[in-house]
Structure 1
Amino acid sequence: MAKLEGDLDYLVAPDPADPRLTAVVEGVDQDGRPVSAAVVTERPLTIYLNGQEIVTAMTIGDHPDLLALGFLRNQGMLAADEAVTGIDHDDDLGVVVVRTLRQTDYEAKLKRKVRTSGCAMGTVFGDMMEGLEGIRLPAAEVRASWLYALAHRINRTPSLYLEAGAIHGTVLCERDRPLVYMEDVGRHNAVDKVAGWMFTQGTEPADKILYTTGRLTSEMVLKCAQMGIPVLVSRSGFTAWGVDLARDLDMTLIGRMRGRRFTCLSGASRLVHDVDPATVAEEDRAHRRKGADRDE
């Protein structure tokens, strides 16, 4: 469990010291001088549901069980009350098998595959709008003061995002408290890990905020909706379809969250402006990502 300033504890936090997650690579700089760079690792992980192969994801390799559960949950292949009887992971083979009491067969669904936008190329199976008809996101509240507090704390959390770049972070938050911080080379993987954690803990989503470093695309909005979380926040920008979907789902969508500034393009009725932005400190460059890769 990671300690933060103000004695705030994460329930799950990044571990940038984990030697499995980065490698040091030698090269040269623009002047031809030798340099060493910390780079994140990526490896394939094939997810099985019972005896059926579902997908192979490129991932940094931590929390394979949560990634598998969250991916299957967000694809509608696991019900909210699914009886999971076992999870087997073989690190050498790069395989994780999720076993359920219920017999499953998603052959038809797997034939309808959509490659999504963004790094590490996400995958959505079936109709992208499948299962959204019955989703009703709660009329929760999000205070501007919470957003500023979250950004301040998350940006100062030791992470691969700060250490090496070329990675995305996703944080499950409650009010002004960050709870679970996951990272991966693809923002969709980081979200799925959070979803997997919520599934294992039976976490109530109605009062939660999902904070991400990645773009607010259609895939991110769909995953957040499947998780039942009403507020999605990002340091980065939006896609038009992401905004349209958020408006259709009545999700609060807040992007370009940097320093004093943010933009809300959907669900502004939940937003409470309880602090004067002029009283908020600008983002300290010392706490921005130190890695050379700054892809959002």
Structure 2
Amino acid sequence: MYTEFDCIKGDADSFELEGHQVIEEMPLAVRVNGRHALTAMISPDMLREFVLGFLYTEGIIKDVDEIESIKIENTDASVLTKSPFKILVSKKTVLSGCGGSMSYLDIAKLPEINSDLTLDSETIRNSVKEALDSELHVLTGGIHVVGLYNAEGKVCVVEDIGRHNALDKIIGYALERGIDLSRTYIICSGRISSEMVRKCLTANIPIVVSRGATTTLAIDIARARGLTIIGFVRSKKMNVYSWGKRITDIPEPVCEAMSNAAQPDE
């Protein structure tokens, strides 16, 4: 996942040649039924899980049973599906820093969350602390972390140069193992964007949590489609932006006040 490079390290007026661990990045070209679907800039592990998760969150497959085979060689992934003539997304490059595929989102056409999962705030804080305790991030300073949790605790934690890549890997991991994603929640190290929200909606993951910020569009989508967004989870603090009723220790009047404030003006 990383390679040591020589670099000149500066500290005030002092400069010395030292080694530094640098996170690895590689292109992965994905072809579905012979057609180029995408090229992702990605960290070189859990590539099969990434392919599965990406194809699922992009709607190319509806279930892992639609996959005939996945063959990965070096920087190429070749996928055969049982529906070879299905229309694919346009080929594109998913960059490590952002990713995503949709320049326009019709919120009304996005899936709605169907889950009765609830959590208390202390469980969320503990999960964030555990998931984001990344030795690789401390070593390299160049990695995103996404964790999948359920009521019993950690299911899987993935590290990647791109947070969207990491989320697709998590979803692919869960799909292959038949994990009920409606009973899970996501912890992530980076910003919660509209694309992260869209992927969670597609996978029916009801709660997404970050120690960082979110965006206006992510909140608008989450409020409309039943997803709970929690940001800035640090120490004892957190910001709940949508569907606070899934957090059991938030008083009901506070949840109702946010719901009323989120309603559009008549």
Shift of 1:198: 1.4
Which residue of 2 is the match for residue 59 of structure 1?
42
The structure where helix makes up a greater share of residues is 2
Which residue of 1 is the match for residue 140 of structure 2?
164
Q: 1:216 to 1:134 in 2, by over 3 A?
A: closer
Shift of 1:124: 1.1
Shift of 1:38: 0.5
Confirm or deny that 1:104 pairs with 2:85: yes
Partner Cα distance (1:247, 1:123) in 2 = 20
Confirm or deny that 1:196 pairs with 2:172: yes
- Structure 1 unaligned segments of length 5 or more: list them: 1-20, 275-296
Secondary structure at the aligned position of 2:156 is classed as: strand
Q: Number of matched residues?
A: 247
Partner Cα distance (1:216, 1:27) in 2 = 33
Shift of 1:80: 2.5
Q: Is the contact made by 2:113 and 2:205 (CA closer than 8 Å) also made in structure 1?
A: no
Partner Cα distance (2:69, 2:135) in 1 = 30
Partner Cα distance (1:134, 1:217) in 2 = 17
Shift of 1:205: 1.2
Secondary structure at the aligned position of 2:59 is classed as: coil
> Which residue of the other structure, out of 98, 102, 122, is the alignment partner of 1:145?
122
Confirm or deny that 1:231 pairs with 2:177: no
Partner Cα distance (2:32, 2:53) in 1 = 12
Partner Cα distance (1:22, 1:123) in 2 = 25
- Identical positions, percent: 24
Code of the aligned partner of 1:50? N
| Cα shift readout 1:102-148 (whole Å, capped 9, x = no counterpart) | 223435x417x7x88x8533131585448944433323202112112
Q: 1:89 to 1:102 in 2, by over 3 A?
A: same
Q: 1:162 to 1:77 in 2, by over 3 A?
A: same
Shift of 1:25: 1.1
TM-score under structure 2 normalisation? 0.85
| Cα shift readout 1:14-47 (whole Å, capped 9, x = no counterpart) | xxxxxxx101111112222222211101010001
Which residue of 2 is the match for residue 277 of structure 1?
none
> Which residue of the other structure, out of 53, 61, 69, is the alignment partner of 1:70?
53
Secondary structure at the aligned position of 2:154 is classed as: strand
Q: CA-atom RMSD, angstroms?
A: 2.2
Secondary structure at the aligned position of 1:272 is classed as: coil
Q: Is the contact made by 1:172 and 1:194 (CA closer than 8 Å) also made in structure 2?
A: yes
Which residue of 2 is the match for residue 22 of structure 1?
2
> Which residue of the other structure, out of 99, 102, 108, is the alignment partner of 1:122?
99
Shift of 1:98: 1.7
Secondary structure at the aligned position of 1:206 is classed as: helix
